[in-house]
Chains A and B, each alone.
Chain A
Amino acid sequence: MTRFEPHFQHRQSAHCESGVMASLLSHAGLPMSEPMAFGLASGLAFAYLPIVKLSGMPLIAYRMPPKHLIKTLSKRLGARLHSRTFGNPEQGRRELDALLDSGRLAGLQSSVFWLPYFPPEMRFHFNAHNLLAYGRDGDEYLISDPVFEEPVRCASADLQKARFAKGALAAKGLMYWLDEVPLEQDWDQLIRQSVLSTTRILDGMPLPWIGIRGIQHLAKQIEQLDPAQAKYNRLYLTHIVRMQEEIGTGGAGFRFMYASFLQEAGELIGAAPLQQASAQLTAIGDDWRQFASACVRASRNKGEAPDFRPIAEMLRGIAGQERVLMKELGAWAKRKG
Chain B
Amino acid sequence: MKLDEVPQDHSSTYGGHSKLVYAVDASGHYQRAQSDGWEPEAYATQLAVAELQEQEAAAEAAWQRGELSPLKCLMYRYRLDEPALAQITGLWQWRIRRHFRPAIYRNLSAAILARYADAFGLPVAQLIAYQKAPA
Residues of B within 8 A of A252 (CB): 1
A289 close to B1 (CB less than 8 A) = yes
Residues of A within 8 A of B119 (CB): 166
Residues 77-117 of chain B, each 1 if its beta carbon lies under 8 Å from chain A, else 0: 01111011001111000000000000000000000000000
A245 at the interface (CB under 8 A from B): yes
B47 at the interface (CB under 8 A from A): yes
B13 at the interface (CB under 8 A from A): yes
Give Cα distance in the complex from A285 to B34, angstroms: 17
Residue among B22, B28, B35, B48 making CB contact with A238, cutoff 8 Å: B48
B15 close to A256 (CB less than 8 A) = no
Give Cα distance in the complex from A168 to B83, angstroms: 10
Which one of A186-194, A291-299, A319-327 is at the B interface? A291-299
Residues of A within 8 A of B51 (CB): 235
Residue among B17, B38, B41, B48 making CB contact with A119, cutoff 8 Å: B17
Residue among B6, B17, B35, B45 making CB contact with A148, cutoff 8 Å: B17
Residues of B within 8 A of A241 (CB): 40-41, 44
Residue among A12, A120, A246 making CB contact with B20, cutoff 8 Å: A12
A286 close to B88 (CB less than 8 A) = no
**Given A35-B22, A251-B1, A246 and B83 contact (CB-CB distance below 8 Å):** no
Give Cα distance in the complex from A234 to B7, angstroms: 23
A312 at the interface (CB under 8 A from B): no
Closest Cβ of chain A: how far from B13's Cβ, in Å? 4
Residues of A within 8 A of B58 (CB): none
Give Cα distance in the complex from A263 to B25, angstroms: 13
Tell me the interface secondary structure of chain B in the complex.
Answer: mixed
Closest Cβ of chain B: how far from A203's Cβ, in Å? 23
A299 close to B1 (CB less than 8 A) = no
A172 at the interface (CB under 8 A from B): no
B18 at the interface (CB under 8 A from A): yes
Residues of B within 8 A of A113 (CB): 78-79
Closest Cβ of chain A: how far from B44's Cβ, in Å? 4
A253 at the interface (CB under 8 A from B): yes
B29 at the interface (CB under 8 A from A): yes
Residues of A within 8 A of B78 (CB): 113
Residues of B within 8 A of A293 (CB): 40
A250 close to B1 (CB less than 8 A) = no
Give Cα distance in the complex from A257 to B15, angstroms: 24
Q: Which of B14, B48, B83 has the most CB of A within 10 A?
A: B48
Residue among A14, A147, A166, A251 making CB contact with B38, cutoff 8 Å: A251
B128 at the interface (CB under 8 A from A): no
Residue among A118, A121, A263, A292 making CB contact with B29, cutoff 8 Å: A263
Within 8 A of A (CB), among B1-57: 1, 6-7, 12-24, 28-30, 32, 34-35, 38, 40-41, 43-49, 51
Give Cα distance in the complex from A52 to B45, angstroms: 20
Which one of A93-101, A122-130, A208-216 is at the B interface? A122-130
A13 at the interface (CB under 8 A from B): yes
A286 close to B22 (CB less than 8 A) = no
**Given A235-B51, A259-B30, A167 and B1 contact (CB-CB distance below 8 Å):** no
Residues of A within 8 A of B16 (CB): 119
B residues within 8 Å of A by Cβ? 1, 6-7, 12-24, 28-30, 32, 34-35, 38, 40-41, 43-49, 51, 78-81, 83-84, 87-90, 119, 121
A residues within 8 Å of B by Cβ? 12-14, 35, 53, 55-56, 113-114, 118-125, 147-149, 161, 165-168, 234-235, 238-239, 241-242, 245-246, 249-253, 256-257, 259-260, 263-264, 278-279, 282, 285-286, 289, 292-293, 295-296, 299-300
The 9 closest A-B pairs by CB, nearest first: A119-B15, A238-B44, A260-B30, A296-B40, A245-B41, A241-B44, A167-B88, A256-B22, A121-B13
Cross-chain pairs A/B with CB under 8 angstroms, 24 sampled: A12-B20, A13-B20, A14-B19, A14-B22, A53-B83, A113-B79, A114-B121, A118-B15, A121-B13, A121-B45, A125-B80, A166-B87, A166-B90, A167-B87, A238-B43, A238-B44, A242-B41, A245-B38, A246-B41, A253-B21, A263-B29, A282-B24, A286-B1, A299-B44
